Structure 1
Amino acid sequence: MKYIFALLLSLLPGLTAAQGVTVFAAASLKEPLDQIALTQPDVTVTYAGSGTLARQVMAGAPADLVVLAHPDWMDALEQDDALLPGSRVDLLSNEIVLVAPQETPALDLTPGALTDALGPDGRLAIGLTASVPAGIYGRQALISLDLWDAVSNRLAETDSVRSALALVARGEAPLGLVYATDARVEPTLKVVARFPQGSHAPILYQAAVVRGENEDAAQALLLALQSPQGLTAFVGAGFLPAGQP
């Protein structure tokens, strides 16, 4: 993966030391996008929940490119006139899953199975269900599968999907609702249940250039991420092309 990004970005003359690109990206994208920072010193990536990043951009934070995990936050940026017109693109998709420690057996997505797995005092780690995309999708899925009433008062809501993953990895929550790609990066955990795609809105990561003095370099990087080589790097990290499955 590092080789792909190194080759790809080395071919972009716009990415020079004088035109370093600052990317604000959803926390779940950390592994593939970190390869940019490792192989191309002119790219800096900041990770957080998509809602947090969108609000920072609207407040004037110095981002050149945003990659967010829910269209609603891109809508907010467009309405704020923060994005370069015509630069917004669909980039990736994902799945949401339940993760638990390795010794945990597979779970049925039923109220009884979830409450049994949580135990008497355990909580379900999940991104903020009103603003963190994985939490938004997760709440939709839990409602769709008639699981919400069983767990709604037993949530440990966090500021990003990676924070939810960390709660489970540290043993502070017995279950976490995260993306399938997050589960791949934590060896102490495993997927114990997968949510059907039809139980929530399609998961869609979008990217766009932020208005400002660095639009050309940001646009060049965005084109690189959309290229077959760039998408191969994301797929290698477990992401799906936009529109799949």
Structure 2
Amino acid sequence: MTAMFRRLSMLAAMLVAIGAAPPPAEGPRVLAAASLQESMTAAAEAWARAGHPRPRVAFAASSALARQAMAGAPADLFVSADEAWMDVLERGGRVRAGTRANLLGNRLVLVAPAASRVAVRLGRGGNLAAVLGTGRLAMADPAAVPAGKYGQAALERLGDWRAVSGRVVRAENVRAALALVERGAAPLGVVYATDARASRAVRVVAVFPAASHPPIRYPIAILKGATSADAAPFRAFLMGPRGRAIFARYGFVVR
């Protein structure tokens, strides 16, 4: 009876200890532009391997993420694919003062399915509309999504927009536009160079001149409602040498 009592006592003590143990620490909640999927995931994994709680990252169009943040969705960091949506959060009082900075840059390209043999010349005297034919041009929605806004600006500047605007299929984000080209639903698409690099199912057929659209900048900021103690350290990691090296490996322009 005494032995059984001792075993029961030990079991009770173990249960109490387990119940009293603090819950595992949670990493910062990050809202990140869809084009950052591979690179931000790699950065989060590198941070976790260094002994920190793994960041929890949600990827979507910057427009969708900014609206979520404005509506009060819990998050610690926001990384946008353009400055305009960060401006929205800043004007709305959602950004912690002094934490906004430009993290990355990118390039804009035109892609086709990998098996396609089309050759495209952009600009006046080019053949974009002719190559497109009756097909669709896949783009992130130019009305809201950064990649689409950059794309429309570039096509307008080069003189191609009027001829192709009626054939644009507006995707919810740049990765959705990429997917349309990958599966052959659209013969051409406008995406970031890093998106094209991440896919074996497409090839780059043209690169938009940098001067044809506003500079592609990815700002980062800590949100005013941040609660994670790792929000500032993870931001510093992303902006530091190790973080920048990860983004450079995925084709981003590091600043």
Whether 1:91 and 2:103 are equivalent positions in the alignment is yes
Structure 2 distance, partners of 1:188, 1:19, is 36
* Match in the other structure for 2:36: 29
Cα RMSD after superposing both structures: 1.6
SS in structure 1 at match of 2:25: helix
Unaligned runs of 5+ in 1: 1-15
Q: How big is the shift at 1:215? A: 5.3
Structure 2 counterpart SS, 1:86 = coil
Aligned pairs for 1:37-52 (under 5 A) are 37-39=44-46, 40=48, 41-52=53-64
The letter for the 2-side match of 1:178 is V
Q: Does 1:114 align with 2:114?
A: no
Residue by residue over 1:153-201, the C-alpha shift from the partner in whole angstroms, topping out at 9 and shown as x without a partner, is 1100111000000000011100000000000111011000000000010
**What percent of counterpart residues are identical?**
47
SS of 1:205 mapped into structure 2: strand
Give, as a single letter, the amino acid of the residue that structure 1 aligns with 2:130: D
Say whether the 8 Å CA contact 1:168–1:176 is kept in structure 2. Answer: yes
Q: Is the 8 A contact 1:209 1:215 kept in 2?
A: no
State the TM-score, normalized to the length of structure 1: 0.88
Q: How far off its partner does 1:20 sit?
A: 1.8
The whole-number CA distance in structure 2 between the counterparts of 1:105 and 1:74 is: 37
| Separation in structure 2 between the aligned mates of residue 30 and residue 221 of structure 1, nearest angstrom | 17
Count of matched residue pairs: 226
Ranges in structure 2 where 5+ consecutive residues have no aligned partner? 1-22
Which whole-Å CA distance do the structure 2 matches of 1:53 and 1:213 have between them?
A: 15
Q: How does 1:74-223 map to 2 (within 5 A)?
A: 74-102=86-114, 103-110=116-123, 113-120=127-134, 122-214=135-227, 216-223=229-236
**81-90 or 103-112: which moved more?**
103-112
Q: What is the rounded CA distance, in whole Å, between the counterparts of 1:24 and 1:64 in structure 2?
A: 8
CA contact (8 A) 1:104 1:192 kept: no
SS for the counterpart of 1:149 is helix
Structure 2 CA distance for partners of 1:177 and 1:213, relative to 1, 3 Å: closer
- What TM-score do the two structures reach when normalised by structure 2? 0.85
Deviation string 1:34-63 (CA, Å, 9 cap, x unpaired) is 124445252111000000000000001111
Larger radius of gyration: 2
